[in-house]
Amino acid sequence: MLRRIPLIGFLLSAWESFDQQALRFRASLSQEENAAQVRWIRELLLVAAILLALGYSFGDRPFFEQMVGPLVSQAPRLERYHELLSFSYWSVAKLLGYGVFPMLHIALRGGRLGEFGLALGGASAVDEKIRLPWARMYLVLLCGILPLVFAVSFSQSFQRNYPFYRQASRSVFDFLVWEAEYLSTFVAVEYFFRGYLLFGLRRYLGSLALFVSMVPYCLIHVLKPAPEAIGSIFAGLLLGTLALCTGSLWAGVLLHVSVALSMDVLASWQSGRLPHLW
C-alpha cells in the first residue's frame, strides 16, 4: 500500500536498486578484496567518529569563548567583532572537520574526490529508472520550499531567531561576512554526511549506507527544536537518496544554501533589519 504513495514508492524502489547493486558488487569481490572493503568501512567510520567528537569538543563557539574570548575582549578593535569572530571560528572548524580532513583522508587512501559526491554528473552508476538530474531536482525542491519559508517569515519567532548572528543588521559588511561563513558550513556538512560517509559506504552497504549516515546527521540536530530534530531523520534519508540517484551532492548543497540565505534575508526584511550602511 505504501508503494502507491509516489514519494514513498520511489524511495523504496531506489533503496531496492541500491541493495541490488551492492549485492552484485560484493559478489564480484575476491576474499582479499572483500576483507579490504571491510577494513575501509571500519576505518571510515572510525575517522568519522573521531572528527565528530573533535568538532563537538573543540570546534564550537563555547570553546572559542573559553580559550580566545578573553584575548579578544582585551583588544578594542577586535571586541567590536567579538561575536562575528566566534562564528568565524565555528565556520572554519566546520570546514576543516566536515570538509578538509575527510578529503585529506580520501586523498591519503588514494581515492578520487569526484567519486564521493562532488562530481556534477555521476548518476550513470544507478539504474535508469531511478536516475535523476541534480539541477532539475534542486529547482523542483526549491520551488516547493521557498513559498513555505516566505509564509513562515511573517511570524515573530522566525524574525527573532534569524539570522543567528545578532549583529548582522549592523552593517553590510557584517551581513556579508556572516552569510559567507554561515553558508559555507552547509557545503561542508553536506559533503561529510552525503559525500564522505554516504558515497564511502554505498557500494558495499547499499541502502544501509543511507541509514548509517542519517544517524549522526540526526544527532547533530538533537539540541534543536523537536520538529527540526525529528525532521532531520527524514531529511537525511531524502537528501541521501537524492544524492545517490543523481550521483552528486550538489542538489542538497544548493538547496540548503538557498533556503538558509532566504531565511536570513526574509527575517531581516520582515523585521526591518536589513543593513543599509557599509
Q: How many structural domains compose the chain?
A: 1
Q: Please say if the pLDDT value at position 4 is more than 90.
A: no
Domain-embedded: residue 278: no
The DSSP secondary structure of 104-121, one letter per residue, reads HHHHHTT--GGGGTT-SS
pLDDT tens-place string over residues 110-152: 989 888 989 876 555 666 777 777 778 888 888 988 898 888 8
Domain-embedded: residue 276: no
Highest mean pLDDT among 71-85, 108-122, 167-181, 202-216 belongs to 202-216
Is 117 buried (19+), middle (13-18) or exposed (0-12) by CB count in 10 A? buried
Phi, psi of 149 (to 5 degrees): -65, -40
C-beta separation of 206 from 23 below 8 A: yes
Average pLDDT over residues 96-121: 92
**3-state secondary structure at position 276:** coil
pLDDT for 40: 96
Domain-embedded: residue 277: no
Half-sphere exposure of 98 (CA within 13 A, CB side): 25
- Cell reading at 232: 532531520
Q: What's this model's pTM, rounded to 2 decimal places?
A: 0.90
C-beta separation of 199 from 206 below 8 A: no
The more confident residue out of 206 and 271 is 206
Domain-embedded: residue 212: yes
**Using 50, 70 and 90 to split pLDDT, how confident is the model at 201?**
very high
**Using 50, 70 and 90 to split pLDDT, how confident is the model at 1?**
low
Cα distance between residue 101 and residue 124, in whole Å: 28
Domain-embedded: residue 275: no
pLDDT tens-place string over residues 8-18: 888 899 999 99
Q: Which is nearest to 240 in space by CA: 204, 195, 183, 187? A: 195
The domain containing residue 253 runs over which residues?
Answer: 2-270
- Cell reading at 52: 565528530
Angle between helices 134-152 and 226-246 (to 10 degrees): 160
The DSSP secondary structure of 86-146, one letter per residue, reads HHHHHHHHHHIIIIIHHHHHHHHTT--GGGGTT-SS-GGGS-GGG---HHHHHHHHHHHHH
pLDDT tens-place string over residues 36-51: 999 999 999 999 999 9
Average pLDDT, the chain: 89
